[in-house]
Structure 1
Amino acid sequence: MKFDLHTHHFRCGHADGSIEDYIVAGIDAGLQVIGISDHSPYFYHEEDQPSPGIAMARSEFANYVNEVLRLKQKYEGRIEVLLGMESDFFPEYAESYRKAYVGVPFDYLIGSVHQVGGVSIFNRNRWKGLDEARQLGEKKSYYELISESARSGMFDILGHIDAMKGYYPAFSAIPAHEHIDETLRVIAENGVSIEINTSGGTKDVGGWYPSDEILERALHYGVNVTFGSDAHVPQRVGDEWELVRARLKEIGFKQWVYYRKRRQVVLPL
């Protein structure tokens, strides 16, 4: 069964196309299951849309949910449409997000760390002038936040867990094996999955998130995996799904998962 759990659309301000465009692209790509998972609003912020080019307005959240549910019904029998969301994880504001999600019939939630120390993980300038010790400190802080997101109980999937390398490929060489291993242990203990996210191919790093090395360690610790293209244009839906499946089998994985009504569905590779 071919699936893709990570897609965006115009509401986030930096993706092209409507939700329906992505569903149709999923059908064209041979998917049986597509998850819609646009960026969460900044629920904690007093402004409705403090960052128009990054996340949807809080006032659009209900419209987003209702549109996905409508399209779920419209395309029933052709493709299974799942209601998801890529939710920012800010530990100091976690309660605002919990309250916003109460009663929403999500199939799954992706928890993603997009900021460390108030700076975007994709900001190239964060690395300028940092010595080795401070670089390690940044990487450690990143993985501590990912661990905390796994412990929070809010999420089914953790998004792109080494995406800090996106515009700084040297990130992968910063020696932090013990921090990554501890994070993977925490993820496994809390029954959360990680995604293989193929959008790294659109960034400077030119590869998937996470690296093969991290996937090998994830297998060792018993972490479940899923797939997400992180498509911001409809043409990328399902991008490199077959390559990811083949690579996971080479690494030694026997299965991967997706989610329906917050319950894990296991599929053999």
Structure 2
Amino acid sequence: MKFDLHTHHYRCGHAQDDIRDYIESAIKQNLSCIGISDHSPYFGSKVDQEQPGIAMAISEFPRYIEEVLRLKEEYKGKIDVLLGVESDFFPEHAETYRKVYEQYPFDYIIGSVHFVGGVSIFNKNRWKGLSEAEQVQHKEMYYDLIAQSARSGMFQFLGHIDAMKGFYPAFSDIQTDKLDQTLKIIGECQLAIEINTSGKTKDCGGWYPSDAILERALHYGVEVTFGSDAHIPSRVADEFEQVAARLKDIGFDHWVYFKNKQPQRVEL
């Protein structure tokens, strides 16, 4: 069974094409289900569209939900269209986000940390001039936010948990026990993490997370799922088979997708 839980479309401002185009791409590739999960608005902002090139407007969110639900009905019997969202996690606004999400029938919500200390994790300039100790501090701040997101109870799985390496591959070599502590928390909270193949589009190459992190995730009993993080329809399910094979090599015997916020087991 093939599935992909992480896709975007034009509303976020940095992806192409309509939701329908991603669904049609999934059908052509014989997926059983396709998750639509565009970037959440900045619900903690007083501005309708805080960053137009990064996330949709608050006023657009109900229309996004309505469109996915309509397409879910339209494609019933052809492919299972799942309603998701990729949510930023800001501890100071967590309850605001939670109250918004409770209004809608999500199949799943992805918890993704994109900002640490108010700076994008993809901003390579954040690392300039930092001492070794300061680099460790930045990495630990990142994983502390991921751990908090796991404990929040808002999410079914966590997105790209080492994406901070995207434009700074040396991130992976920064030594700290915080990663293991965070994986342990994720396992205890019974959340999944995604294998996200969009890392290949960044300087780091490869996937998020690394094989070494997946090995540790297996040790801590963390479930895994798949997301291409497609921003163009042609990347839907990108490298799905290769990821499945790698997971089996590491020692996983299954992965999961989510429907009505419940994990659905798929044998590898």
Normalised by the length of structure 1, the TM-score is: 0.99
* Cα shift readout 1:77-116 (whole Å, capped 9, x = no counterpart): 1110000000000001101101111220000000000000
> How do 1:81-230 and structure 2 match up within 5 A?
81-176=81-176, 178-230=177-229
- After superposition, the CA RMSD in angstroms is 0.5
In 2, Cα distance between equivalents of 1:170 and 1:163: 12
Give the partner amino acid of 1:263.
Answer: Q
Instruction: Give the deviation of 1:73 after TM superposition.
Output: 0.6
Structure 1 runs (4+) greater than 4 angstroms displaced: none
In 2, Cα distance between equivalents of 1:187 and 1:18: 33
SS, match of residue 180 in structure 1: helix
Instruction: Give the deviation of 1:29 after TM superposition.
Output: 1.6
In 1, Cα distance between equivalents of 2:40 and 2:129: 32
1:25 match: 25
SS, match of residue 40 in structure 1: coil
In 1, Cα distance between equivalents of 2:200 and 2:24: 23
In 2, Cα distance between equivalents of 1:30 and 1:180: 36
SS, match of residue 212 in structure 2: helix
In 1, Cα distance between equivalents of 2:81 and 2:56: 20
In 2, Cα distance between equivalents of 1:103 and 1:234: 28
Give the partner amino acid of 1:133.
Answer: A
Normalised by the length of structure 2, the TM-score is: 0.99
Give the partner amino acid of 1:151.
Answer: R
1:9 match: 9
Instruction: Give the deviation of 1:206 after TM superposition.
Output: 0.6
SS, match of residue 108 in structure 2: coil
* Cα shift readout 1:116-152 (whole Å, capped 9, x = no counterpart): 0000000010000001000000000000000000000
1:261 match: 260
Give the partner amino acid of 1:34.
Answer: I
In 2, Cα distance between equivalents of 1:29 and 1:208: 21
In 1, Cα distance between equivalents of 2:173 and 2:191: 26
In 2, Cα distance between equivalents of 1:102 and 1:154: 10
In 2, Cα distance between equivalents of 1:239 and 1:50: 30
* Cα shift readout 1:155-175 (whole Å, capped 9, x = no counterpart): 001000000000000000001
Instruction: Give the deviation of 1:50 after TM superposition.
Output: 1.2
1:71 aligns with 2:71: yes
SS, match of residue 148 in structure 1: helix
Give the partner amino acid of 2:204.
Answer: V
Give the partner amino acid of 2:161.
Answer: I
In 1, Cα distance between equivalents of 2:200 and 2:30: 21
SS, match of residue 16 in structure 1: coil
In 2, Cα distance between equivalents of 1:28 and 1:163: 29
Instruction: Give the deviation of 1:54 after TM superposition.
Output: 0.4
